[in-house]
Structure 1
């Protein structure tokens, strides 16, 4: 039986589990439902229209499963679908429901990490093309310069279990070199894809010591904690049994469970849920 009034966490596949892990660690008492749209992943190179369609379909599934609040733990979905969902779709379904993303919470604090006022953003092609981070960081930190680099091969490397092998080093160094060639004064690197924390050790190995690498998990968890504190009308309706449930749109749940463990750092058991 599904937990009612759970917090929904959505990603196009596995990456959102790195964010969910941080959320569950900081806020363990709530009930959660995680949904990965693995059958249609990756989202990174798809069009705005397609990403919005897929994301909205999955958000509605989470609504149907009893989630009044959904976190898009996916940078691509946050960049290409969140605004339309918040400003248009929710009005037609239930204005009382809430959908949050990962870009704005990150942009609100990332400027505090840099001394040189120059930040590098590593993301999927979709996230970089949207310029969502450039716009949002500029809103909160207008004196910070943002440089961006798409890393289209990193997600396939990770999802195929190749990220810890020597062959991945070439592609890690290639994208880092391309980013750092844009400015010698970058002192902060944002991993703007929830898959990328699995490459963090390799990334840091190719960086000078003065460059700090920031993953999003703890930032998003703290932002959600603050959001619930500021919205008691939502927080009070959430069920608090400490339950976690996992769903995937691929019928190969065994494969999902095996790969998900790599991201979530715990064994999980998922349930298949079809999309239209």
Structure 2
């Protein structure tokens, strides 16, 4: 039997309805969990291209199910999806859940797919996507997809996470606009994959104006920026000490009173 293009290094025994290992090391297989309607159809195609570029085989239900099953696509959809989940486990890949828009919406189908993948104990990685079509290669989306591959490897080495882990930044407010390459302009709050948060004003994805950053361990940075270049920046460490920074380098430790004067003088956000 000829090996299907969707798998590249493993094939499915249709009689036994199970995955059979190839004689060589398989590529990590990724199953996309995504909405079908525009723009998500094209976004899913673009993400598949990037993942394949970085060494994965990818199953996109939006396109590959019909290509494989022709007129039986609808009837075979769930069975085909489950077979690809088995390939994910066999090759130590992951399920990529494409979450839609500023509210990170997921369809009922995606929630069901998330549960199926959880039962099989394979990594479920989430990526936030704007509800607009724009080129993804060379943008923060490609960076996030590379991070997803690394996160899946980490889970296979150290234990599969119980829920969906985000590989992308999450823009949590809706007052901003998005340009043709996916960069944000306007007031926004962003949550990073490591749990850190940043809130402020952005121009084409760059900090512009006052901004507050907090790391997962509780370190806080307040600053005033011009297109990502700090005009003034002060930090409060996890131990409660204050420091004044310039160009990302620590200048000196300052007193709480000095920190308050800088904060008020430059109208920085509250700690």
TM-score, length-scaled by structure 2: 0.31
Normalized per residue, the structure richer in helix is 1
Structure of higher RCO (CA pairs closer than 8 Å, 6+ residues apart): 1
Q: Say which one has the larger Rg.
A: 2
